[in-house]
Amino acid sequence: MEKELQYIFGPVNSSRIGRSLGVDVIPKKICSLDCIYCEVGTTRNLSTQIKPYFKAEGILAEFSSVYHEIKNSIDVITITGSGEPTLNSCLKEILIGIRDIVKDEKNIAILTNTTTLDNKDIYKTLLDFDIVVPSLDAVTKTAFEKINKPAKEININNIINHLIAFSNEYTGKLYLEVLLAKNVNDQKEDIDTLISVIKKINYTRLDIGTITRPPSYSFAKPLTDQELDDIKSYIASNGVSFIKDNTVDDNSNNTVISYHKQSSISNNDNDTDLIIRKLMPLLKMRPTTIDDIIKTLKIDKDVVQEVLTPFIQSGEVTSKEFNGILYYQHKIIKQV
């Protein structure tokens, strides 16, 4: 059997950034936050330490081999991780290496939780991305600690100040993400303070969403569609635009994708080894439905079930229901 991909996943369809090939630059699960809604599982190493967790060399070698196979079917490269990607001190080297491989053919995006923007090197490296997707779920200390459970040295005001400064200097596309959890960061005072900060951020697009997949903490609950719509209307009525750039499509219904990992490589045959090689990274990244697998791997439902069954029987893959939908995930995703 061919080796499972370690760093590269996708392409994933994103209504905001197009068909995206993902690059995972951080091991599961090292993060400066332990967000209660995280799809990657609970944070095992809650840390702000910046280190060469994965070396650029291995990532670039794997990227190069996959990219040349599928470059005609993707629009964008997305740097992300099973944790916070900016904690990898090789980020700049990885960005330069990927640019060198893709030339000017593709945009390069990064997802970040913004907690490292006070690091001058990371700040400068992020300026060089074509698309930056920062998340900011709460702006008061109390709500921030409830929803994002940060490492103790992280100060929310520091994050806000650096994000505002960055947004005013950055010349690429900045897609600001806010994720709301019921009775955690969705109260009127949370939204009012959030609005006051959002107004100072120079974003291209604002996406407000809620929990859509099994969260790392079972007490984390989504808002209903109506509650989410009401909050979006309230935000808009307070003078906040969701789109500030006419070149950006508004076809995502303002739903936060909130993926830090989504995985698949298009597959047009039913070779079992090949499917497993692509399926396992997907199930290790986040809870995934059968429909997700069918769409991303382009295989029949019967084939998905045939391939999954032995892994379910052995306990390597488990299932979980959330909001009436059945998800499958690898046992390495830890939820509490």
Site of interaction with ligand SF4 (CB under 6 A):
31, 33-35, 38, 40, 43, 83-84, 113, 260
Token pair in block for residue 40: 């990657």
Minimum separation from the CB atom of position 43 to ligand SF4 (A): 5
Q: How far apart are CA 243 and CA 252, in angstroms?
A: 11
Minimum separation from the CB atom of position 205 to ligand SF4 (A): 19
Sheet containing strand 76-80, edge to edge, reads 8-14, 18-24, 76-80, 107-112, 131-134, 173-180, 205-210
Minimum separation from the CB atom of position 220 to ligand SF4 (A): 11
Q: How far apart are CA 206 and CA 144, in angstroms?
A: 19
Nearer to ligand SF4, 35 or 98 (CB): 35
Minimum separation from the CB atom of position 32 to ligand SF4 (A): 7
Bridge-based pairing of strands 173-180 and 205-210 is parallel
Q: Which of 49, 166, 83 is nearest to 117 (CA)?
A: 166
Minimum separation from the CB atom of position 198 to ligand SF4 (A): 19
Nearer to ligand SF4, 179 or 280 (CB): 179
Cis peptide before 182 (omega within 30 of 0): no
Residues forming beta bridges with residue 243, ordered by sequence position: 205
Nearer to ligand SF4, 148 or 254 (CB): 148
Residues forming beta bridges with residue 324, ordered by sequence position: none
Q: How far apart are CA 119 and CA 207, in angstroms?
A: 25
Nearer to ligand SF4, 129 or 311 (CB): 129
Q: How far apart are CA 56 and CA 183, in angstroms?
A: 41
Nearer to ligand SF4, 90 or 147 (CB): 147
Minimum separation from the CB atom of position 135 to ligand SF4 (A): 7
Minimum separation from the CB atom of position 179 to ligand SF4 (A): 8
Is the separation of the CB atoms in 204 and 247 below 8 Å? no
Name, in order, each residue with C-beta under 8 angstroms of 57's C-beta and a sequence gap of 6 or more: none
Minimum separation from the CB atom of position 27 to ligand SF4 (A): 12
Q: How far apart are CA 39 and CA 335, in angstroms?
A: 9
Nearer to ligand SF4, 31 or 56 (CB): 31
Nearer to ligand SF4, 149 or 173 (CB): 149
Q: How far apart are CA 251 and CA 131, in angstroms?
A: 18
Name, in order, each residue with C-beta under 8 angstroms of 102's C-beta and a sequence gap of 6 or more: 67, 71, 77, 108
Nearer to ligand SF4, 106 or 288 (CB): 288
